[in-house]
Amino acid sequence: MMIVIYPADFTFNLNLILPMTNKLAGKAALVTGASKGIGAAIAKALAAEGAAVVVNYSSSKDAADKVVAGIAAKGGKAAAIKANLAKPGEIAHLFDAAAEAFGTIDILVNNAGIYEVTPIGSITETAFHKHFDLNVLGLILASQEAVKRFGPEGGTIVNISSVVAQVTPPGVSVYSATKGAVDSLTRAFARELAGRKIRVNSVNPGLIATEGTHAVGFVAGPEDAVSPLGPVGKPEEIASVVVFLASDESRWLNGQNLTATGQLL
């Protein structure tokens, strides 16, 4: 007879028939742009590991409520909170509402971001600000708020960057530049905050099938197609890397830009 002994905090999620290890039990996480795509998968994955999760959205209330309901149905804790991360005035309010919902935040995932096709001749000041106000300034201001509010145990920031920061495909230079900035900010903040028990890392995905990539036409065919940036992945593939970076299992990683493309680039 085989006897299997599980650790005390080892539980089964019967819905998934996958072992859960509750590695984020007692933690609270805020995921920006979590009503859809990669952010929604991250929110669900963090909650599945025991974190209480703030599901931030800017306009898709129904989608955010659905993510929260899905988490609650599996016994997790989540709250949907509206805030436009491209509007600096709304960011402190988001963190205030998060504190009201779950107390001290331990994990910030800077996921909210946009990408549009902008060949050099069509780049406008508006397109520049649309990308940089959200992907860069929003990330800086959200990080600032999180750092002010992390408790004495410190915290973890995970930035969702992109492989385009390195491979810079034609036609998306402005977007690529925002993610180059995200990579630099990740390393710079990690150095600044290292003495305060705050780690900052980024995940740099290749192409992932999401509502957003379908809408702009980056993913048009079957979801398992191969793109010039590697195989087209699912949001869950990135979510599991984020769980790792948010948890103590990655305690020896700081200031890293982690490429996640399903292949060597």
Ligand X SMILES: NC(=O)c1ccc[n+]([C@@H]2O[C@H](COP(=O)([O-])OP(=O)(O)OC[C@H]3O[C@@H](n4cnc5c(N)ncnc54)[C@H](OP(=O)(O)O)[C@@H]3O)[C@@H](O)[C@H]2O)c1
The answer to whether 56 and 33 are in contact (CB under 8 A) is: yes
- The verdict on 36 binding ligand X (CB under 6 A) reads yes
Number of shown-chain residues binding ligand X (CB under 6 A): 31
* Candidate list 60, 176, 247, 254; residue touching ligand X; CB under 6 A: 60
Please state whether 247 falls in left (phi above 0), alpha (psi between -120 and 50) or beta.
beta
Q: Report the DSSP beta bridge partners of residue 78.
A: 53
Q: What residues numbered 204-223 form the site for ligand X, per CB under 6 A?
A: 205, 207-208, 210-213
- Spell out, one character per residue from 84 to 123, where the chain touches ligand X: x when CB under 6 A holds, - when not: xxx------------------------xxxxx--------
Residues 209, 161, 228: CA angle, nearest 5 degrees: 50
- Please indicate whether residue 6 is annotated as part of the active site: no
User: Taking contact as CB under 6 A, which single stretch among the options 16-24, 55-63, 100-108, 119-127 is the one that binds ligand X?
Assistant: 55-63
User: Phi, psi at residue 247, to the nearest 5°?
Assistant: -100, 170
Closest CA to 91 of 139, 32, 142: 142
**Nearest CB to ligand X, comparing residues 190 and 232:** 232
| Whether the Cβ atoms of residue 113 and residue 204 lie closer than 8 Å to each other | no
Residue closer to ligand X by CB (options 25, 265) is: 265
Q: Are strands 18-20 and 11-13 parallel, antiparallel or unpaired?
A: antiparallel
**164, burial (CB in 10 Å: exposed 0-12, middle 13-18, buried 19+):** buried
Near ligand X by CB under 6 A: residue from 31, 39, 52, 146: 39
Smaller CB separation from ligand X, 76 or 230: 230
Q: Does 134 bind ligand X (CB under 6 A)?
A: yes
Q: Give the SS3 label for residue 108.
A: strand
**Could you say whether residue 155 binds ligand X (CB under 6 A)?**
no
User: Rounded to the nearest whole angstrom, what is the least distance from the CB of residue 164 to ligand X in the complex?
Assistant: 7
User: Mind telling me the catalytic residues?
Assistant: 175
The residues that touch ligand X, with contacts defined as CB under 6 A, are 32-39, 56-60, 84-86, 111-115, 134, 160, 162, 205, 207-208, 210-213
